[in-house]
Structure 1
Amino acid sequence: MRCSGTATARGKSTVSRSGAGTSPSASGGESYASLRNFAKCQWRGKLRELEDHLKVCPFEKVACTNKGCPHTVERQHFDEHLAKECAHRLTVCKFCNQSIPHAMMKIHIEEHCQEAIISCTSPGCEKRLPRRQLRSHLSTECQAVEEPCSMGCGQMIRRADFGRHCVEPSDTAAHFAAFHGKLQGVEQELRRKDDLIEHQQMQLASLQSKVESNVRRGLQALDARVDCLAEDVRSQKTSSQSLGQSGAQGQLQRRVSNLEMDVHTTMRSQTEAKIVSGQQQSVCQEIAKQTDQLDLRVMELETTAYGGFLIWRIPNFSKLLDEAKRGIKTSHYSQPFYAGRYGYKACARLYVNGDGAGHGKYVSLFFVIMAGEYDAILQWPFNRRVTLSLLDQSPARHHVSETFTPDISSSSFQRPTSGLNVASGCPCFMSHQMLNSSAQQYLRDDTMFLKIKVETTGMENFTS
């Protein structure tokens, strides 16, 4: 029989693979079969050979072996389906050489592939570059990116227009007003701190006067009491000499016991006076500590930058290097700065004679996350790209820069639980030999300039 939708046999019964049932045949003899693919397959053979035939029949439908594909195709078209038709077949990305399901290739290239060539997302920038370079391009290079004016006028300015914006007469007035407002704020803070310090000094003077007066009166009273006791002792000695042994001994012992109690009381009063004097010194030390903290806070208000970067001037480099080599002071902290007006607070830490792997031969420069006023609304861990730069003071401007992306598993980039996190950066940032090179002027008039920049792109949407 042919390979068809039914099976017939010359004998007792017929077999149907398609579910049609059985039908009897009047003629006897050996069974023949023709099943399933009657419309296309011309095979005819014995029923016992049918299973073997179906394993190779070109018209038999088989399931696609690609993961996720639900289709079945005829065996003769199976290879073509796998190679050209199946939407779930793996194809190699022409940019990154990864194997991607064919149906997902367009999305992979348009949204995920880090090697795919894309256009800069800033309106007006025509540069095309690999997707993995886009963030760095936007944070440091793209001249079409708009950023808040670092002069404080509040406008969003394209990097390419910043120089012209700074000298425009109409904008200069806004810059002056912003600077004046900030200066007034600093002055108000200083006045408030001065008033607080003056108030604390008045309280200290009043407390000191009271303590001194009380101590003076107490000591005078104690001196008078001691003199009186001494006179009593002398009197008792005279009395004991004149009294008889029998009656005077008991009276004398009682008097001596009373005198001992008075002496103990006097000594305790002297101890209490010393304690009061020690408390006075402790209060003075605490007020001095608060005054130092106020001075530090005032310095921060005067020098803190909010533009996401810091220019750090390091004068007297030779002296600092000599002190570091002699172990007097090995590291220096910069003034703090913020990554945006309401962003992360950070500072830099400099080892002029190197630290760790750079000790003795390099300048080491590190980035430090500080506890800030807005940490509660920021996202943690910190994952913004950081660029550390040593500025060339010659006209060539061959600055040296190192950029790194934070390791979010490191404790250095978690939300600070105290004042400062552990510093992270470049132990071998700049060799002493290159620093003194005559080709560039990284040191001029014994002064160095460092720049620490935090990527602020999208910071306006970065708070939770």
Structure 2
Amino acid sequence: MGAVVFLLIFEVNHLDESHPNLTCEYCGEQFNSTNNFNEHKVSTCQKISVECLLKDFGCNERIIRANMKEHYMTEQHQKSLSKCIRQFLSHDSDRRIDTGCPRTTTESYNPDTIQFEELHGALNILVGGIEALANDAQRLSNESLQAQVTLQTLEEQLPGLKLSMEESNGFLQGVNCNLDILKQDFTSLQEKVNDLQCVSYDGTFIWKITNVKEKMMDAQSERQTSIYSPPFYSSPNGYKMRARLYLNGDGNARRTHMSMFFVLMRSVNDQILKFPFNYKVTFCLYDRTPAQRHIIDSFRPDIKSSSFQRPRTDMNIASGIPKFFPLEMIQQEGNPYVRDDTMFIKILVDFGDTPKTLLPYVLSLNPGLPTHVQQTLIKREVERREQQQSDKQLQPPKE
């Protein structure tokens, strides 16, 4: 016997001395001792596959030792654990029946028996909890599978939704662009409607200019140096015209006078009209007080100027009176020409060559009177002045 022990010790020592640096085929760790190598494989190697402790109760899976904690949470292991506990409880009950252990009183129980009964109850509760957890795990697994199917369906639908959103965004951008164009068209149309509401067809036009203070500031800052009146006509089939006003002056009159100009515009009847345009144009800035000291000035077109030839574009170059009215007067507080931040300018194209001395009378007539009534009054005034002049000539000279 002593000889056998000696041989075993010799063999172990021989292996340790003759075969050092043993390597684990699972994790690659090296050992210089056979005992350490064997202990590593049996209990510590995390990459070796081992059998579940509940193999005898149906858990036959081999598991990498590092994954053992995850395995304990699997449904298969939980079921095997429940089976193990049930068998244990069943064997305990059978043992009690076989030994005739009394259960009616607690007096015959020793402390170990009482503790065993408590453990028995705890195990019953644990079995119920494990079954509930297993059912919940199965339910969650089913819900997870359903969620994965739903997620996959949504992922398949996502490219289509993205494409639809891109198309919708493109459509909305197109709608917004068209809306901006429509707004511009509407503004332009509204301006034309407003112009048509105050259009004139007798060669005269009374231009109402509002927000004078703001427009003066715009002109001084050069945000908008000039403003245009609405178009008006000499007759329903006649010349188309408008006025242009520089509130802070133009050219040599800048910052000293308001500049007033006449603009000949292209119309549908230009082919039958006579050019160059050769009719006197008069401007009148109304005095809004009973004194009626209107500012009146006229000019006759230069027929050699391109401003009065047949228009080839929407408007000819403006021409008129650069120094129409001193800015110093219009800027005075309480001046009679700007009231309620508004002023009125009348543009009169004289097709009858009205005498200059008659202009103050013509411009003082009530603009609210019909045109034919104004013409009648002008004719009477002309006749009255002619008669007055004739009477003066018939009077004998004073001695």
- TM-score, length basis structure 1: 0.38
Select the structure with the greater relative contact order (CA < 8 A; seq sep ≥ 6).
Answer: 2
**Structure richer in helix, relative to its length:** 2
Compare CA radii of gyration and give the structure with the larger one. 2
TM-score by length of structure 2 reads: 0.43
